[in-house]
């Protein structure tokens, strides 16, 4: 492949007005969309969901919802942005009453940036810590360790409620320093180590975005392809470890009886909604830089399929190492299988630490996390920048300054998440910034296109771009199936764990595996009164 990038040139719109630049090459756009959709959740969320919900049987509801909602909504957003050639707010010139939806998704993307960049800064912190002969999370002799720290051998004789592994304490006490905070009302000052890592991440994001698709289209050649290379290397290493095959068998084991549980279908539906990245305005922003005649239908099929295949492939990598951990410590796989930050910042580093040349493997793994996170963060920021610049035209001449303003503002807000009590703020943002709000936003977006703008008119727009109308299947999904799917998903998501304090406590436990401190003191730690709504 020719890596030489051609300059992106302005085109002329159907009305004769000068338009924005376009992608230098078609592959730049595809890699940008893939890089955004394939993020950390593909590694730390899908494999665990698959294992927990019937193994291979989980693929039945997952693929079902992929076909009736995931792909149609993905296709809809790509076509919407490409035809109107504006960001998430500007595209609603076709139906101005829904313009608020555009600003909503821009705001949600901005909220997500406040905490998503913090995850990348954690990965960067771990990367710097990996450049040592002995990884800092292999023993309990560090200054941050508590008397409850013990290795896996000791955990066989002591209740897990009262003990923590060195890797767990390194994350909780060595990196986050949660022991220095008494709750959300006691955040403390930003820790300089995490602040420095966050600043590096923000600088990287700025220089990836300041020139628009001219620069971001070049960066994704590395950030979107590197995870596949690293995942392949880790898989080749993982399958050679003792117990790896048992872990993979557990990942693929089929239990069709689990399909009788409604919760399995709800989790599959939720995973589809969030894994493809619809509703953040990113797909609209990226496709708005396409040429008008680009085949967005083919792009939607390719990129959404690659995203799902990546999730499935990453499960082999994850469970080969989890099977190894289970074998090495002679414990059940359930004891080491986790999702969320607990997997990539506790369980996986602990597994890597037991390998020969552990520092090298740690560097490789955290480089993968960085590249997974950076291009997704770039997509979220691009949604905000493109959406606002297209809405307020005077900003076009000052894109560099406006981009600087956005990333610096994001950095300042993110400082709350790198304090000793920052995990409380992080958990609040993680759960409330892009949970039910995204589902509701996509639902209103689908209703606006299908019922107010009209499926027939939308199909005519697509025909004008690619030469043929969407098939009846896609039109039925847009008008009936996908909105009903989103409505049910929104209802189930809203009903789940209704008390805000308990929801936050539940998610804190997803991050802090093993030590159930937050489980015993739910509202005292979070600082929320029981009557808070």
| Token pair of 6 as six digits | 């051609």
Quickly count: other Cβ atoms within 10 Å of residue 486's Cβ: 25
The CA-atom distances, in angstroms, between 266 and each of 50, 61, 65, 126, 516 are 13, 9, 10, 34, 26
372 is in an annotated binding site: yes
Three-class secondary structure of residue 88 per DSSP: coil
Q: At what angle do helices 296-328 and 71-84 cross, to 10 degrees?
A: 140
Quickly count: other Cβ atoms within 10 Å of residue 484's Cβ: 15
Which residues 6+ apart lie within 8 Å of 280 measured at CB? 105, 108, 109, 112, 379, 380, 383, 434, 438
| Token pair of 1 as six digits | 């492949």
SS (H, E, C) 372-424: HHHHHHHHHHHHHHHHHHHHCHHHHHHHHHHHHHHHHHHHHHHHHHHECCHHH
290 is in an annotated binding site: no
Measured CA to CA, the distance from residue 343 to residue 349 in angstroms comes to 8
DSSP class of residue 25 equals S
Q: At what angle do helices 296-328 and 26-37 cross, to 10 degrees?
A: 40
| Token pair of 13 as six digits | 């719109």
Q: Answer yes or no: are the C-beta atoms of 119 and 372 closer than 8 Å.
A: no
CA 114 to chain centre: 13
| Token pair of 369 as six digits | 């996390």
Q: Answer yes or no: are the C-beta atoms of 120 and 370 closer than 8 Å.
A: yes
DSSP class of residue 151 equals -
216 is in an annotated binding site: no
130 is in an annotated binding site: no
376 is in an annotated binding site: yes
275 is in an annotated binding site: yes
Measured CA to CA, the distance from residue 175 to residue 417 in angstroms comes to 12
Measured CA to CA, the distance from residue 326 to residue 69 in angstroms comes to 37
307 is in an annotated binding site: yes
Three-class secondary structure of residue 131 per DSSP: coil
Known binding-site positions for Na(+): 35, 37-38, 42, 275, 307, 372, 375-376
Annotated binding site: 35, 37-38, 42, 275, 307, 372, 375-376
């Amino acid at each position: 492949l020719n890596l030489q990038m051609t300059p992106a040139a302005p085109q002329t719109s159907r009305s004769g007005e000068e338009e924005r630049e376009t992608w230098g090459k078609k592959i730049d756009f595809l890699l940008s969309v893939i890089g955004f959709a394939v993020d950390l959740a593909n590694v730390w969320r899908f494999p665990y969901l698959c294992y927990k919900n019937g193994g291979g049987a989980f693929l039945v509801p997952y693929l079902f919802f992929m076909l009736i909602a995931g792909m149609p909504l993905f296709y809809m957003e790509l076509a919407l942005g490409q035809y109107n050639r504006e960001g998430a707010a500007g595209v609603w010139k076709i139906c101005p009453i829904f313009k608020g939806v555009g600003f909503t998704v821009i705001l949600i993307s901005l909220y997500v940036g406040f905490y998503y960049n913090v995850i990348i800064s954690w990965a960067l912190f771990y990367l710097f810590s990996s450049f040592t002969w002995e990884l800092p999370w292999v023993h309990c002799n560090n200054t941050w360790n508590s008397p409850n720290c013990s290795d896996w051998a000791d955990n066989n004789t002591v209740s897990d409620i009262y003990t923590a592994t060195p890797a767990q304490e390194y994350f909780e006490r060595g990196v986050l320093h949660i022991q220095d905070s008494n709750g959300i009302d006691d955040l403390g000052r930003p820790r300089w180590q995490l602040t420095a890592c966050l600043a590096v991440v923000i600088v990287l994001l700025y220089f990836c975005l300041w020139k628009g698709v001219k620069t971001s289209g070049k960066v994704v050649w590395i950030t979107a392809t590197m995870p596949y290379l690293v995942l392949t290397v880790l898989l080749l290493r993982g399958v050679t470890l003792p117990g790896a095959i048992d872990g993979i068998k557990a990942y693929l084991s089929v239990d069709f009886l689990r399909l009788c549980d409604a919760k399995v279908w709800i989790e599959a539906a939720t995973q589809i909604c969030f894994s493809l990245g619809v509703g953040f305005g990113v797909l609209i922003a990226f496709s708005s830089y396409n040429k008008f005649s680009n085949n967005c239908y083919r792009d939607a099929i390719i990129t959404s399929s690659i995203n799902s295949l990546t999730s499935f492939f990453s499960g082999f990598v994850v469970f080969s190492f989890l099977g190894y951990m289970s074998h090495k410590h002679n414990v059940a796989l359930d004891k080491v299988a986790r999702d969320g930050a607990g997997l990539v910042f506790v369980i996986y580093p602990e597994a890597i630490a037991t390998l020969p040349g552990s520092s090298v493997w740690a560097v490789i793994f955290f480089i993968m996390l960085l590249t997974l996170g950076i291009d997704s963060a770039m997509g979220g920021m691009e949604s905000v920048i493109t959406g606002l610049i297209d809405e307020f035209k005077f900003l076009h001449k000052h894109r560099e300054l406006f981009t600087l303003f956005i990333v610096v503002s994001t950095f300042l807000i993110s400082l709350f998440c790198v304090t000793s009590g920052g995990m409380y703020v992080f958990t609040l943002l993680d759960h409330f910034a892009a949970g039910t709000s995204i589902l509701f936003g996509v639902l209103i977006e689908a209703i606006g296109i299908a019922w107010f703008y009209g499926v027939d008119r939308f199909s005519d727009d697509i025909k004008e771009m690619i030469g043929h109308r969407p098939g009846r299947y896609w039109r039925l999904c847009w008008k009936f199936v996908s909105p009903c799917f989103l409505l049910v998903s929104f209802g189930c998501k809203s009903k789940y764990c209704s008390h805000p304090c308990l929801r936050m406590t539940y998610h804190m436990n997803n991050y802090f595996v093993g030590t159930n401190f937050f489980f015993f003191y739910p509202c005292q730690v979070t600082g929320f009164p029981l009557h808070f709504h």
